[in-house]
Amino acid sequence: MVSPRTVRRLALASVVANSAIVVTGGAVRLTSSGLGCPTWPRCTDSTYTPTAEYAVHGVIEFGNRLLTFVLLAVVVAGTIAVWRQRPRRPQMRLLSALVLLGIPAQAVIGGITVLTSLNPWTVMGHFLVSSLLIGLATALHQRSREGDLAPRPLVGRPLQQLGTALLVLTGLTLVAGTLVTGSGPHSGDSAAARTGFDPESVSQVHADLVFLLVGVTAAFWVALRATGGPSRPMGVLLLVQLSQGLLGFVQYFTDLPVPLVALHLVGACAVTVASVHAVLALRDRGPLGAGQPSTAPAREEMLVP
């Protein structure tokens, strides 16, 4: 039987690994190494490993592909741990299975991205699916720290609905961010196509959504403080959003330097994690172990001669 601490640590490792693969994928794009391995699943038509022809770009792209296996190992270990827990926790099993299934799905999307010469729409989809997997992994980690009682709302219905709206708005902001990326200069390869949208226009839409998101989060935090609700996770989210927004404006007005764009990717992962955590904090499921049937009687019966 696997201990709750092991499950919790592996769930956290899944959050970190899913975020790390986003950052390393960004490094591939920012170094123009997107076609360092010009085909898939092989790196070239004749080899699975990079050749001298593609130099350092091939090494970077191939290295990112290898990191997918590291991510897979982490997620598989976490999934096995969850499924070996006793008593069984069906919701955690579902979450772990979804994260696990997402890894090969991402590999296929990545392959399509390469085979379509870094089509910006598949690149966008690649990032958004990763964001979804980060959110699922965060939910899994949260469930590993709490019990299985029926969810007890810690806020009124209007704030519960606002929590759902906050997640939707976060998703829309991420989508707008990918449109900015798909229209900007960092395409992953000099020959890669762009969306055709005006970068300044989509950047303005993205900025408007950021302002709206920060405003909603700030109002949410004030409401939780006033009503005695769980305000701390929402306050953390607000700080992450403000930091990410500031970074976004600085990178825009400094012509998108690579280091700042990379940090902005890290920030996007942090926003996803903090958003899911803040919304899940609006309900309580009791302490770890609550709501689970005890296995003690069964063990005692086995010991009786």
- Each residue of 263-293: pLDDT tens digit? 999 999 999 999 999 999 999 999 988 877 6
Number of Cβ atoms within 10 Å of the Cβ of 205:
16
What mean pLDDT comes out for the span 56-67? 92
Q: Which residue has the tokens 């039987």?
A: 1
Residue 39 has pLDDT above 60, yes or no: yes
Please, which pLDDT band fits residue 301 given cuts at 50, 70 and 90? very low
What mean pLDDT comes out for the span 289-298? 62
Please, which pLDDT band fits residue 296 given cuts at 50, 70 and 90? very low
Cβ–Cβ under 8 Å, residues 184 and 256: yes
Structure tokens at 75: 């997620």
What mean pLDDT comes out for the span 188-212? 92
What mean pLDDT comes out for the span 51-79? 92
* C-alpha torsion 261→266→267→269, nearest 10: 130
Question: Any bridge partners for residue 284, and if so which?
Answer: 152
SS3 state of residue 283? strand
Question: Any bridge partners for residue 73, and if so which?
Answer: none
Q: Which residue has the tokens 């955590």?
A: 277
Q: Please report the pLDDT score of residue 289 as a whole number.
A: 84
- Each residue of 98-121: pLDDT tens digit? 999 999 999 999 999 999 999 999
Q: Which of 10, 57, 195, 25 is nearest to 120 (CA)?
A: 195
Cβ–Cβ under 8 Å, residues 257 and 244: no
Q: Please report the pLDDT score of residue 52 as a whole number.
A: 80
Q: Please report the pLDDT score of residue 291 as a whole number.
A: 77
* C-alpha torsion 289→290→291→297, nearest 10: 60
Rounded to the nearest integer, the mean pLDDT of the chain is: 92
Distance CA 269, CA 79 (A): 22
Please, which pLDDT band fits residue 294 given cuts at 50, 70 and 90? low
Q: What residue ranges do the domains of the chain occupy? A: 4-293
Residue 303 has pLDDT above 80, yes or no: no
Distance CA 222, CA 228 (A): 10
23-37, 59-73, 83-97, 288-302: which has the minimum mean pLDDT? 288-302
Cβ–Cβ under 8 Å, residues 92 and 82: yes
Residue 74 has pLDDT above 80, yes or no: yes
| Residues in CB range of 298: below 8 A, 6 or more apart | none
Q: Please report the pLDDT score of residue 305 as a whole number.
A: 32
Q: Which residue has the tokens 């690994």?
A: 17
Residue 206 has pLDDT above 80, yes or no: yes
Amino acid at 203: S
Q: What percent of the chain has pLDDT over 70?
A: 96
Please, which pLDDT band fits residue 300 given cuts at 50, 70 and 90? very low
Cβ–Cβ under 8 Å, residues 281 and 230: yes
- Each residue of 145-182: pLDDT tens digit? 999 999 999 999 999 999 999 999 999 999 999 999 99
Task: Outline where 31-156 has alpha helix (H).
Answer: 55-83, 90-115, 120-143
- Each residue of 217-246: pLDDT tens digit? 999 999 999 999 999 999 999 999 999 999
Q: Which residue has the higher pLDDT, 292 or 296?
A: 292
Question: Any bridge partners for residue 166, and if so which?
Answer: none
Long-range contacts, 148-153 (Cβ 8 Å, 24+): 148/89, 148/91, 148/285, 148/286, 148/290, 148/291, 148/292, 149/284, 149/285, 149/286, 149/290, 149/291, 150/285, 150/291, 151/283, 151/284, 151/285, 152/283, 152/284, 152/285, 152/286, 153/282, 153/283
Residue 299 has pLDDT above 90, yes or no: no
- Residue 291: which region, alpha, beta or left (left: phi > 0; alpha: psi -120 to 50)? left
